Homo-oligomer: A and B are copies of this chain.
Amino acid sequence: WMGVPVLGLDALSSAAYGPEAAMTVLLVAGTAGQALITPIMLGVIALLLVLYASYRQTIRAYPQGGGSYTVARTNLGVNAGLLAAAALVLDYVMNVAVGISAGVGALVSALPVLLPLRPELCLLLLLVIAVVNLRGVRDSGVAFMLPTVLFVLLLLGVIVAGVLQVVLTGGHPVPVVAPQAGAASAAVGLSAWLIVRAFSAGCTAMTGIEAVSNGVGSFRAPAVRNARLALTFIVGLLGVLLAGIAFLARAYGVTATDPASPEYRSVLTTLIAAVTGTGPVYAVSVAAILAVLCLSANTSFAGLPRVAKLLADDDYLPHGFASRGPRLVYTWGVVSLTLLAALLLVVFGGVTDRLVPLFAIGAFLAFTLSQLGMVGHWRRLRQRGLPLVLNAFGAAASGVTLLVVLASKFTEGAWVTLLIVPGLVLAFRATHRHYRHVQAEITTEHPLDFTPRPAPIVIVPVQAWTTVTRKALRFARQLGDVRAVHVLTEQDGHDLQDRWAACVTGPAAASGAPAPTLVLLESPYRQLLEPLLDYVHAVEQDCPDRQVVVLVPELVGPRLTHSLLHNARSAVLKARLSFGGDRRVVVMQVPWSLDDTQGRGRAPR
C-alpha cells in the first residue's frame, strides 16, 4: 500500500489544476459557461476510464515496468521510440512547471500579498527542488505519503461536507467565505468550439496516471495484481475528486478567475474556503496542496533522468546523461530539467493556465504512443483478444484527444510543440549520427606499438616549497625527466631558490640520484600562467619526439568552496593547453587534500 501515495501522487495532484484549467477556458462565456464544468468533467472522467482500462493491460504485459519509451521502442521501432522519448521529455518538463506554478497559485490565493512575487516564488521552489535532487534523495516513502494522504483526506472531507450542505440546504448552500464575484457577463456565447477547448484543458487532470505502469517492479508479489489494484484505487480516487470538485464548484458558485490578473484566486482554494471558511482546515489544505504539487513536480526529477539515461545508453543523448555523479545522481538530467523548467516558468510568468496546452500535448502524445506500442505488442504475440481491443481503443481515444488539444490550443502555445518535439527527435538522431561517425573514425586495425620511446619530460610548476610541491616532485621523478618551473614576479622574495638547494640539490647529491632541473621564468604584471605556457610550448618544439607532461596539484575533498579557491589555476592551465587542440601535452592533476597538511600527510611520505 505504500505504492499508492508514491505512485498515485502524480495523478492525484492533477485534481488541483485539471478542473481549474477547464473552468478558466469557460470564463469568457460567463455564468452559462461555468455551468458546463460538470458535463465536461464527466467527459474527462470517461476518458480517464478508457486510459485506465488500457494501462491495466500495460501493467500485465510489462511486469518490470513499461514506460512509453520502452513500450514504443520495443514494439513500434526506433522512430516511434524517439518520438515517445521527446513526448516524455516535454511531459516531464511541463509536469515540473505546472506542478510548481499551480502550487504557487494555491499559495498566493491564500496569501494574496505574495501575488506579485509569483514568478520569483516559482523559481525559488524550483531551485529548492533541484538542490534537494542534486544532493541526492533516498526514496523516503513517508515524506511522500504524508502530504498525499493529507491532501486526499482533506479534499474528500471537504467534498463530503460540501455535498451534505448542498443536500441539507436543498441545493442552495451558503458559502462560508463567498467566492469573488466574477464571470457575470458573457463576453462570448457558448459554442461547441469553446466546449472542446475547455475539455482539452481539463485533460491535464489525467496526467500522471501512467506512473503505476512505470513502477510495477516496485510492488510486492503478486506485483501485477497489486499494481492493478493500486491503479484501480488511484483512478477511483481521482474520479471522485474531479467529480466532487466540479459538482461543488457549481453548487457554491465558484468560478475561475483571470489567471494573470491581481484578483487571481485558485478554484480549489476558493472552493475549500467556501465550504469550510478560512480557518485551520483551510490553512492545512493549502499547505497540503502546495506540498503535493511540489512532490508531484519532484517525480519528474526521477523520471526524466531515467529516460535520458536510456537514451544516452543508446547514443541518442550525450553520454553525460548516462553517468551518475558522486552522489549517485544523474547530474546532467537533473540540471537539464531544472534549466528547461526555469525557462518555461520565466517565459510564461509562472501562470499555470499558459502552461497547460504544452503539458496536455506532451502527456497525450506519450499516452498515445504507449497505447499504440501495446497494440503492437499484442499483435506481435498474436493475441487478438480483449487486451488488444482495450489498448486499441485507448490509443484511438488518446490519439483523438491529442489532435483535439493540438487543434483547439494551437494558437495558445500548442504550436510550440510542433517545433519542440520534432526538434528533440532530430537532436537525438544527430547525436546518434555523431557518435556513430566518431566510432567509425577511431576504429583501427593497427596493433599496439611496442617500440621503445624516450622517457617523457615532466614539467612541474613550483611557486613555493610546500608539502604539495614535495609530493608532486616525488611522483614526477617516477614518470620521467623533471623540470620544475618557477615564475618570478616582482613580489618574489627568492625564498624558493634558497630552499631548492637545501631541499632538492643537496639531498640529490647525497643519494646519488639526478636532481630535477629548476627553471626560472621572468614575468611582468604578475601573470603566472603566460610564461609557463610559453615555456611548455618551447619544450614541445625543442623535443618533438618526446611526450610532455605538465603535472599540477589539484585539491580534492568534499568542500566545493575549497576546490573553487584552489583549483581554478590548474583548471585554466589545462583549458589553455587543450585549447587549439594540442594533443602532445598531457596535463596530470595530482590530488592533494587539506588533511594532507594536518594528519598523516605531515610526515614525509
The residues of A with any CB-CB pair to B shorter than 8 Å are 120, 313, 318-326, 331-332, 346-347, 431, 434-435, 438-439, 441-451, 453, 455-456, 464-468, 470, 473-475, 477-480, 502-504, 506-508, 510-511, 513, 516, 526-530, 547, 554, 556-558, 564-566, 568-569, 571-576, 578-583, 585-598, 601, 604-605
- 15 pairs, A vs B, C-beta closer than 8 Å: A120-B346, A321-B568, A323-B569, A323-B572, A323-B573, A441-B597, A441-B598, A442-B468, A450-B507, A450-B508, A556-B578, A556-B579, A557-B578, A558-B579, A582-B591
| Complex Cα–Cα for A321 and B564 (A) | 10
CB distance from A510 to the nearest CB of B (A): 8
Tell me which residues across on chain B come within 8 A of A448, comparing CB atoms: 470, 473-474, 503-504, 507-508, 516
Given known pairs A568-B323, A591-B585, A595-B581, the reply for A504 and B447 (CB within 8 Å) is yes
Tell me which residues across on chain B come within 8 A of A466, comparing CB atoms: 439, 442-444
B447 in contact with A565 (CB, 8 Å)? no
List 8 additional contacts besides A318-B564, A581-B595, A583-B601; criterion CB under 8 Å. A322-B526, A323-B528, A447-B503, A448-B470, A448-B504, A449-B470, A478-B547, A574-B589
Tell me which residues across on chain B come within 8 A of A581, comparing CB atoms: 556-558, 593, 595
| Complex Cα–Cα for A230 and B484 (A) | 48
| Complex Cα–Cα for A421 and B572 (A) | 29
- Chain B residue nearest in CB terms to A573: B323
- Chain B residue nearest in CB terms to A315: B565
| Complex Cα–Cα for A582 and B556 (A) | 7
- Chain B residue nearest in CB terms to A584: B591
Tell me which residues across on chain B come within 8 A of A325, comparing CB atoms: 572, 575-576
Tell me which residues across on chain B come within 8 A of A435, comparing CB atoms: 565
| Complex Cα–Cα for A331 and B596 (A) | 30
| Complex Cα–Cα for A558 and B575 (A) | 10
Instruction: Tell me which of B443, B506, B526, B604 contacts A449 (CB under 8 A).
Output: B604
- Chain B residue nearest in CB terms to A471: B583
Tell me which residues across on chain B come within 8 A of A576, comparing CB atoms: 325-326
A319 in contact with B568 (CB, 8 Å)? yes
- Chain B residue nearest in CB terms to A448: B504
| Complex Cα–Cα for A468 and B583 (A) | 11
A565 in contact with B431 (CB, 8 Å)? yes
| Complex Cα–Cα for A319 and B463 (A) | 14
Instruction: Tell me which of B347, B438, B480, B594 contacts A441 (CB under 8 A).
Output: B594
B479 in contact with A564 (CB, 8 Å)? no
B447 in contact with A323 (CB, 8 Å)? no
B453 in contact with A467 (CB, 8 Å)? no
Tell me which residues across on chain B come within 8 A of A431, comparing CB atoms: 565
Tell me which residues across on chain B come within 8 A of A470, comparing CB atoms: 444, 446, 448-449
Tell me which residues across on chain B come within 8 A of A504, comparing CB atoms: 447-448
B585 in contact with A506 (CB, 8 Å)? no
Tell me which residues across on chain B come within 8 A of A605, comparing CB atoms: 449
A447 in contact with B502 (CB, 8 Å)? yes
| Complex Cα–Cα for A565 and B325 (A) | 16
| Complex Cα–Cα for A569 and B590 (A) | 19
CB distance from A245 to the nearest CB of B (A): 33
A583 in contact with B578 (CB, 8 Å)? no
B326 in contact with A575 (CB, 8 Å)? yes
A446 in contact with B604 (CB, 8 Å)? yes
Tell me which residues across on chain B come within 8 A of A598, comparing CB atoms: 441
B569 in contact with A591 (CB, 8 Å)? no
Instruction: Tell me which of B324, B347, B445, B592 contacts A583 (CB under 8 A).
Output: B592
Instruction: Tell me which of B465, B511, B589 contacts A444 (CB under 8 A).
Output: B465
> Among the interface residues A331, A442, A569, which one has the most CB atoms of the partner chain B within 10 A?
A442
CB distance from A583 to the nearest CB of B (A): 5
CB distance from A276 to the nearest CB of B (A): 36
Instruction: Tell me which of B446, B513, B572 contacts A450 (CB under 8 A).
Output: B513
| Complex Cα–Cα for A583 and B581 (A) | 29
A332 in contact with B568 (CB, 8 Å)? yes
CB distance from A347 to the nearest CB of B (A): 8
| Complex Cα–Cα for A516 and B585 (A) | 23
- Chain B residue nearest in CB terms to A603: B446
| Complex Cα–Cα for A415 and B371 (A) | 59
B583 in contact with A591 (CB, 8 Å)? yes
Tell me which residues across on chain B come within 8 A of A547, comparing CB atoms: 475, 478
Tell me which residues across on chain B come within 8 A of A571, comparing CB atoms: 320
| Complex Cα–Cα for A571 and B513 (A) | 36
- Chain B residue nearest in CB terms to A556: B578
Instruction: Tell me which of B324, B445, B477, B502 contacts A572 (CB under 8 A).
Output: B324
B456 in contact with A443 (CB, 8 Å)? no
- Chain B residue nearest in CB terms to A318: B565
CB distance from A170 to the nearest CB of B (A): 48
CB distance from A423 to the nearest CB of B (A): 16
Tell me which residues across on chain B come within 8 A of A474, comparing CB atoms: 448-449, 453
CB distance from A447 to the nearest CB of B (A): 4
| Complex Cα–Cα for A486 and B474 (A) | 30
Tell me which residues across on chain B come within 8 A of A590, comparing CB atoms: 586
CB distance from A6 to the nearest CB of B (A): 21
| Complex Cα–Cα for A331 and B529 (A) | 14
A596 in contact with B568 (CB, 8 Å)? no
Tell me which residues across on chain B come within 8 A of A434, comparing CB atoms: 565
